[in-house]
Amino acid sequence: MITVADRRIADVEPHVYLPITEGEAYTVGEALTMGATATKCVVDAKPEYICVGEVKGGKVPAAAVMPSTRYCIDYTAKPTIGDKVQLSADGMDITATTGGAFKVFSVDEEKQQATGYFE
C-alpha cells in the first residue's frame, strides 16, 4: 500500500475524482495513471495518482503524485537505497527490480517498507 510519509510543503493538493475503467477494481493506496479513464499504473511507469477511497458514481477519488511528497510503500523484496525501483503488478507495493520510477530514500526492514519519491 502506498501512503504519504511527509510533504516538503505546507499545502496539500485537493483530491480529484477520476472516471473509472469499466470492470477494473480499485483499492485504496494503489498507483494509478490516467488516459481517458483511471487505470492501474504499469510496473515501470511513474504513477500520476494514488487511489484514496472507494468508487462512487463511476468515479474514483485520487490524490495527485507530487514531487514534493515522500511516500511510504510496502515492498515484496528489499530494495537498495538510492535505486529507482518498479511497482509490483498490482500497483500496491514496490519490488527490488530496478528500472522503475520510485527512488528509494530509506528502508525499514522490520516493517518491510521503503520511503522515497516518484521521479
pLDDT in tens, 73-105: 999 999 999 999 999 999 999 999 999 999 999
What pTM does this model have? 0.90
Say if residue 46 is exposed, middle or buried (CB neighbours under 10 Å; 0-12, 13-18, 19+): middle
Cα dist from 45 to 86, 110, 116, 119, whole Å: 8, 27, 15, 9
C-beta separation of 5 from 72 below 8 A: yes
* Res 51: pLDDT: 97
C-beta separation of 80 from 102 below 8 A: no
Residue extents of the structural domains in the chain? 11-64, 69-118
